[in-house]
Structure 1
Amino acid sequence: MTSELSDSLWHKSCRETANAAALTQSAKADLAIIGGGYTGLSAALHAGQDGAKVRLIEAREIGWGGSGRNVGLVNAGMWLPPNDIIDRLGEDTGLQLTRLLAAAPDLVYQLITDHDIQCEPVRKGTLHCAHAPAGMTDLTNRYDQQKALGAPVQLLSRDETIARVGSDRVYGALFDPRAGTIQPLAYAKGLARAAVDAGAHIHENSPAISVTKTPDGWCVVTPKGKITAHNLIVATNAYSLPIEGMITPRVIPVHYFQAATEPLSHAQRHSILPNQEGCWDTALVMSSWRLDQAGRLIIGAMGDLGHPASGIHRSWLLRKLKRMFPQLSGLQLGQAWYGRIAMTAEYLPKIQSLGDTALVAFGYSGRGIGPGTVFGERMARSLLSGNPDCLPVPPVIHHHLPYAGLRQAYYETGASLTHLVKDRF
């Protein structure tokens, strides 16, 4: 079960539009793309800029999946620290991915500037906050690893972090000045607009019904049309629908929910995140908080608001707000929304090859904005040039993820039990 996109604050505050007609004819393209999120839209934009004929189809509306429900943190890297990435992928691939994604915010903010995307970009950095004194051990480890790779990160004391966050419920932080925040749905819709300007054709409300390999490439059929293309990218991530003739990527769907306050007063904004960093914490059941352009505080955590136990998560939100920011006493949370994250067993994104002319990307594990933008660009250019060396990670032929349903239940049960405890957050 997934909330409607219109439940999201991002839908209500979005200043970009991407109205695209459904596909109603037969069309030919150099590149067909299934999925209108960050990965697919970045691929469409960069392929269009390179002169390719591009057709992108989205089953609902642009940004309807994770791109429209995102927290909006533009991070430099993955959730895992660099050494863990290298251990999982090997030194060469691990270092390549780490360096590419360290520069991902540069690409995101450059696209925003180049195409005048109205998505509330703020590049004031992020704070990875210790939720308890023990959390500083993890942050110190991450700091050491990132500094060894030349990252301009800073390890902040508890007093420094309290001043930057406006709460005494933090015990230190890792500050990354490369990162920032955006309005995530507006970024997606802005990418779509830019892709159209670059010559790409984008079609909403056009789900792929079937995909067939042909002697010349691929045939993608929708309810009212079809696309024949030499190359194919599938970029549906956590929102994959069954497509005849096409694999459905195996991921662990983990839910994340958010809610927003009304805009804070001038005095409140002076004391809470005065530098406008985006934040998340070191807790096993992670939570996040940030401000938007209007000064709303947006707070969220792992959990499914479509779950029968969703009342537990909603009650936790109110307790979290009260305990973390008592200066906001009496301020109510307004709209709440949630979405799905596609996790892999390794907590790393994957590219699956369907042959020399088709790639499937999935598994950003909660880091969709920067990695999705990079992966889309790299996959499009790899397919159009015939050069797999520019891919962020080597493609795999087979991908297995046993017990995905049980793992999903494990995460949701853990989040529910954690949020049920009334004297902690």
Structure 2
Amino acid sequence: MKTIFGITLCFVFCLASCNSVQAENWMRFRGPTGQGISTEKELPVTWSPTENIKWKTGLPGKGWSSPIVFEDHIFITASTEEGVSCQVICINRKDGSIAWQTEVHRQKPGPMRKQNSYATPTPVTDGKHIYSVFYDGTVIAVDFDGNIVWKNSEVKFFSLHGLGASPILANGQVIMPFDGSSREDTQIGWKVPWEKAVILSLDAEDGSVRWKGERGKSRVGHVTPILVDNDSQLISAGGDRVQGFDPNSGKRIWSIYSQGEGVTPSPVFGEGLVYTSSGFEAPTLRAIRLGGKGDVTESHIAWEQKSGVAALASLLYIKPYLYSISRDNILHCLDASSGDIVWRERLTGTYSASPVYADGRIYFLSAEGETLVLRPGAKYDEIARNDLGDTCYASMAVSQGNFYIRSAQSLFCIGK
């Protein structure tokens, strides 16, 4: 009897262990690595407003921050009162009920790009606190009950286009880039470098300033940084710069000039190369080799490509290919080692949300609410098109066997 009980207990333990390994938290913009890659399995391929929808929850306020997931908690941000009231919202992952909604800040709304919002930066969590950033540059930490832990307004941010980058965590720090467009009193922005562009590091426990990484004069950018090379480098792009920083000190290691403006796509990393997009003014995809110091514009660019340059949605790297959606909504697949275009396909709709790779498939969410599902590879291989029928600018999250998609009005949990 003891043997049978022991075998049963072992089986239950192993089953629980397998489930815990499979379940993945999505704690920041674009998931665990910041590159849109999920290890989740058994995810749905098709859905509609009536198929594979586990729950749908109406959302208060407005905002285009993407959902993040930690265990049974989903967090988003929003604004009400025409952008004045800044909210952090916690949603129960199991049933979609709103656990709490806290006003964490009140700000003065200003000019903003039509597709942006006063609550666009995606929050990030370490499982203890949720860190959020709003339009005016204020960074706020709250605990899992919605209580404000600290608030920092070190950077008085202004941009004619609003704020689009998101914070990340690194070694007990909250790191946030601020690439603005001059001062509010001058109303100068587009094509004018801002001498106060900065990457701000705050202590995650108390909100004190750890360091400020100086960008140098840089133009408008909305790029969320990533950590690469075993987290030894922070890669951050401004309007006309791509730079590598020491994440512990903020010291700039290398920099390249990347003529552009309004850069939005986040970089990705693979096989020793950083892949970036330069935005709207002089659209160029670049692959940058690591290992350089100082200005490496002439020495460490592995390749450049003028076609198929990502405009809004971030790049996606799935070895050996790089995927990019250009301004005219053409999806390009490139050879990541050379930059050569493998294939291109014109898409219906427009794309702002960044793509996700999960369970062997790529998911592209359009602004019109349709998700295009593809198999990665050397040819265009479409599997499904799934339409939710609502506007979607936020990027999807993948966790606990489900997709979480934020629309203009609702949050959807999509799963089998």
The answer to which structure has the higher strand fraction is: 2
TM-score (normalised: structure 1): 0.28
TM-score (normalised: structure 2): 0.29
| Higher RCO, 1 vs 2 (CA within 8 Å, ≥6 residues apart) | 1
The answer to which structure has the higher helix fraction is: 1
